[in-house]
Structure 1
Amino acid sequence: MSSDTPGGHGPPGQSTPLGEGEAEDLLHGICFKTGPPRIVGVELEWLLHDREQPRKPVSPHRLRTAAEAVRALPLNAALTFEPGGQLELSSRPAASLMACIEETAADLVAVRDTLDTLGLVPAGLGVDPWNPPYRTLREPRYDAMEAAFDRCGPSGRAMMCTSASVQVCLDAGEEEPGPLGYGRRWQLAHLLGAVLVAAFANSPFRLGRPTPWRSTRQSLWADLDPLRTLAPSGQLPPREAWAAHALDTPVLCIRGEKGPWEVPEGLTFRDWIRSGHPRRPDRADLDYHMTTLFPPVRPRGHLELRMIDAQSGDDGWLVPLAVTAALFDDPEAAETVYRTVKPLAETAGAPSAPRNPLWVAAARDGLADPELRAAAAVCFDLALEALPRRGATARVQDAVAGFRDRYVARGRCPADDLRVLLTTGRDRTPAHAKGTLS
């Protein structure tokens, strides 16, 4: 429903300085806006590949031409381009699952048709299997991000320029406890998140070679920054835990009127408030800081689930959207799935997601992990029971059932088929589910 690319945060350092208590209050209020779950959204990232030669890098000139052409379309979704030229569509908040799917599907038809005239296709892959990272956007934000991530190694550049995802956005939940309460939904997101990583893993190759991971994308996120990509500690209630996490995570950059922006090392937002150097932060700085935090579940007034690899095929993206929305927003399914995944908390252990054993196993093994396979089987069955109650059409139900039968029931994920295709050239994908990889 929104992009990581910030906008409308105001000029740096030109409003009232922010106090520590005020910052905590703002984080409590703006990140968990509670109420009955009513809306759903999705953010779809796509790699752009040449239609005839998908292994060949697309030139910056062609990417710029594609961006201009797609920006001219009358889309329902917000459109942005990521640092490596990936295209991202961020849907409007929709009043139902089907409204979200129908608007997004219509946008994708227009986008695909326009790209096709340029010889390009949107590829639903968690990580580009062949090409090294090359940044096409030269902006102060991405210059600063690259400098900060380079301190930890090469994973940051790879994430910025060669990864793509399906991000599902859901209401934070009700104030009252229960299956739709925000505390329960917050906990469920971090446990179910590992199941979603495993079920939809779709990035087993990088730089032309197989990796040890079924979701190489998730491994990159876990590796790129010591704190910025971690979930908050589970020892505090969600509002307090998130506020502490946000204030105690180092700022990625301090914006200025012109670039390059300063990239301090180890300066937390709390330290910045207390020290007031190099200038005192304000509300706009806090808003901006929030866009530079990348945990697997990010509260932005709604819950943004960020752990799912991009999916191949014309309709691949709607399966994780439909499954996740059904499991979270249908009260009966939400209660049952919570009881199903709660025992995984013992497997998860420390540290926080995505670096604990459960999430590592999900990214490495996919549904070959027996606990994750068993949990995924229950989750998909519950989703299929709930989808008619959520108004899902037969097409959506069939897509979810097909994924369950093809992958979940067999302890497989899309990465397993992709690995076969890229190592042997044998395509095991049914004709109706084919994407753009060749």
Structure 2
Amino acid sequence: MSVSPECGIDGPALTEHEAEALVEGICFKTGPPRSVGVEVEWLVHRERAPHDPVTRDELAAAHADLRTLPLTSGLSVEPGGQVELSSRPAPSLAVCVSEISADLAAVRTALRERGLALAGMGVDPWQRPRRFLRERRYDAMEACLDRTGSAGRTLMCTSASVQVCLDAGREEPGVMGFARRWWLAHHLGAVLVAAFANSPMAEGRATGWLSTRQLKWTELDPGRAGGPSLTHDPRHAWVRRVLDAPVMCVRRDGPWEVPDGVSFREWTRSSSMRPPTRADLDYHISTLFPPVRPRGHLELRMIDAQPGHDGWIVPLAVVTALFDDPEAAAIAHRAVAPLAERTAGAPAPHNPLWTAAARHGLADPGLRRAAVTCFTAALEALPRLGASTRVMDTVAAHADRYVRRGRCPADDVLSPPGVAREQRGG
């Protein structure tokens, strides 16, 4: 192979069977749940004029400032200039909240000195997608995603989320073994989309969807943004999903190749392409965007970025409680079980349940019932998990303001209320 070290693809060729074994071994690391993590993405707006675009030079200077901060979490910049903080695996919810909160305070202070602020929205309501980062990875991603329309550019450049990361769970059968946690993630996920929908606008207009971010994921190729079948063992289903998913790019010197319709499985069998390596497999997995992604742990990726300084805490706390507290987990499992009938046997998010969650939020009666039950169970579980008064009060405030009233943060964006009703009626 003639490749530069920066591509990171040196290594022996990988066969199809070796790739299957690696995916099965690395994506579900089972054991008793011990750790929690979160990735919080934010749009960067002008503090006093959020409708006005931030220039490339201003973003570059702000990002340079942020890289000098002594942060505990990992700092990264997304293609459109969004800022992301990724926590370390934390031994408890309390530690995770404390570390990210301290880092966010430092980031906000640094941005404020340049007249900028973090904005918690699932999709930027005003700005058109524009690339800030010019890197071969994102050049290839843009070229690949453009084949299915404009959704990819929106997700790359003007979207933000809260991603909750939890251990995969125990291997042995039990109340919340890893197979049941996997099942719960895919059905509770629709409830989370509805309860935290916060992207009803794009490019200055209402879209008719409360989570436009989730709508955009459904507009991508299901092979890239869809989950696997839930009718098979999670490991086997995910192995098939990974190997049969289309390859986004083949890294090499110069511009990266963007093959059209070639799966990773086909790549391992190809005689016309350079053979893939372990690094290629790892990279390929990182280019798949299902709502629940196993990376040794479970990434729940369906939650819109949340408003306010502490809004991100709510999905983190609720999800942690519903997965890691046995009593709350059992209640959540029963609450979402009736919703499984609405998936029509199709993987998330390309099924009627997830569509209803993204379009109507908690105005959907079934999703509202499940959300009320799950939030109540989470609030009862949080003291058992050692949550602080701040965390419990923040979750309770979200439940009172939104969940129990059949609303979500997107309803606050759609003002006056008559506009919200008109848009939902489409």
Which among 36, 39, 45 is matched to residue 32 of structure 2?
36
The amino acid across from 2:308 in the alignment is: G
Structure 1 residue runs without a partner (length 5+):
1-8, 425-438
Question: What RMSD over aligned residues (CA atoms) do the two structures have, in Å?
Answer: 1.3
Identity %: 62
Q: Aligned equivalents of 1:187 and 1:349: distance in 2?
A: 15
How far residue 336 of structure 1 moved from its aligned partner, in angstroms, is 1.6
Q: Is contact 2:247-2:264 (8 Å) kept?
A: yes
- Give 1:121-132 correspondences, 5 Å limit: 121-132=117-128
1:420 match: secondary structure:
coil
For 1:182, the aligned partner's letter is F
Offset of 1:421 from its aligned partner? 6.5
Measure, in 2, the Cα distance between the counterparts of 1:423 and 1:55.
23
- Asked whether the equivalents of residues 164 and 309 of structure 1 are also in contact (C-alpha less than 8 Å), the reply is yes
Q: 5 Å matches for 1:233-312?
A: 233-258=229-254, 260-312=255-307
Q: 2:96 aligns with which of 96, 100, 105?
A: 100
Q: What's the secondary structure of 1:16's corresponding residue?
A: coil
Aligned to 1:162: 158
Q: Which residue of 2 aligns with 1:432?
A: none
Aligned to 1:370: 365
1:416 aligned partner: 411
CA deviations over 1:216-272 (Å, ceiling 9, x no partner): 0100111122310000012210000000000000100000133x1000000000000
Distance (Å, rounded) in 2 between the aligned partners of 1:402 and 1:226 = 36
Letter in 2 for 1:213: W
How much does 1:52 deviate? Answer: 1.1
Amino acid at match of 2:117: V
Distance 1:276 1:353 in 2: 34
> Any conservation in 2 of the 1:123–1:312 contact (CA below 8 Å)?
yes
Q: Pick the aligned partner of 1:151 from 147, 150, 161.
A: 147
Instruction: Tell me by how many angstroms 1:10 deviates.
Output: 7.4
User: Match for residue 61 of structure 1?
Assistant: 57
From 50, 74, 78, the equivalent of 1:78 is 74
Q: Is the 8 A contact 1:179 1:185 kept in 2?
A: no
Q: Provide the C-alpha distance between the structure 2 equivalents of 1:276 and 1:236, rounded to a whole number of angstroms.
A: 32
> Equivalents in 1 of 2:346, 2:219: separation in Å?
13
| Alignment correspondent of 1:189 | 185
| 1:333 matched residue in structure 2 | 328
The aligned amino acid for 1:90 is S
Spell out structure 1 runs of 4+ moving beyond 2 A: 9-14, 421-424
Q: Separation in 2 of the partners of 1:50 and 1:101?
A: 26
Q: CA deviation at 1:11?
A: 4.1
Give the Cα–Cα distance (whole angstroms) in 2 for the partners of residues 23 and 408 of structure 1. Answer: 43
TM-superposition CA deviations, 1:373-432 (whole Å, max 9, x none): 0000000000001000000011111111111111011000000111116999xxxxxxxx
Q: 1:391 to 1:276 in 2, by over 3 A?
A: farther
- The offset of 1:14, in angstroms, is 2.2
Cα distance between partner residues in 1 of 2:298 and 2:411? 29
What's the CA shift string for 1:163-202, capped at 9, x where partnerless?
0000000000000122331100000000000000000000
Does the 8 Å CA contact 2:222/2:350 hold for their aligned counterparts? no
Cross-structure match for 1:216: 212
Q: Counterpart in 1 of 2:356?
A: 361
Supply the AA of the counterpart residue of 2:169.
G
Equivalent pair of 2:411/2:417 in contact (CA under 8 Å): no
Residues 382 and 10 (structure 1), Cα distance of their counterparts in 2 relative to 1, 3 Å cut: farther
- The 5-angstrom pairing of residues 115-126 of structure 1 reads 115-126=111-122
Supply the distance in 1 between the matched residues of 2:65 and 2:88 (Cα, whole angstroms). Answer: 21
* One-letter amino acid of the counterpart of residue 103, structure 1: E
Secondary structure in 2 matching 1:129: coil
* Aligned amino acid, residue 336 of structure 1: I
Q: Is the 8 A contact 1:340 1:375 kept in 2?
A: yes
Match of 1:204 in 2: 200
Q: Give the whole-Å Cα distance in 2 for the aligned partners of 1:255 and 1:350.
A: 36
Q: 1:117-170 CA deviation, whole Å, 9 max, x = no partner? A: 000000000000001000010101100000001111011101100000000000
**Matched residue SS, 1:45:** strand
* Distance in 2 between residues matched to 1:13 and 1:130, nearest whole Å: 39
Q: Which whole-Å CA distance do the structure 2 matches of 1:275 and 1:348 have between them?
A: 36
Task: Return the match for 2:83 from 87, 94, 116.
Answer: 87
Structure 2 residue aligned with 1:393:
388
1:37 is displaced (CA, Å) by 0.2
Label 1:68 to 1:97 Cα distance change in 2 as closer, same or farther (>3 A).
same
User: Please, which of 43, 46, 67 is the counterpart of residue 47 of structure 1?
Assistant: 43
SS at match of 1:150: helix
> How far has the Cα of 1:363 moved from its partner?
0.2
Give 1:349 shift. Answer: 1.4
Residues 254-295 of structure 1: CA deviation (Å, up to 9, x unaligned)? 00133x100000000000001143100010000000100000
Q: Deviations over 1:276-333 (max 9, x none)?
A: 4310001000000010000000000000000000001010000000000000000111
TM superposition score normalised by structure 1: 0.93
Select the residue among 106, 110, 124 that pairs with 1:110. 106
> Do structure 1's residue 137 and structure 2's residue 133 form an aligned pair?
yes
- Could you tell me which residue of structure 2 aligns to residue 428 of structure 1? none
1:197–1:308 contact (8 Å) kept in structure 2: yes
Q: Kindly tell me: are residues 329 and 114 of structure 1, through their superposed partners in 2, closer, same or farther at Cα, counting changes over 3 Å? A: same
2: distance between equivalents of 1:123 and 1:62? 16
Cα distance in 2, alignment partners of residues 56 and 130 from structure 1: 8
Q: Describe the superposition over 1:342-381 as per-residue Cα deviations: whole angstroms up to 9, x where unpaired.
A: 1211011143111100000000000000000000000000
| Residues in 2 aligned to 1:261 and 1:99: alpha-carbon distance in whole angstroms | 40
Give the counterpart letter for 2:247 in structure 1.
V
Three-state SS of the structure 1 residue aligned to 2:287 is coil
Moved more, 368-377 or 327-336: 327-336
Tell me the TM-score normalized by structure 2: 0.96
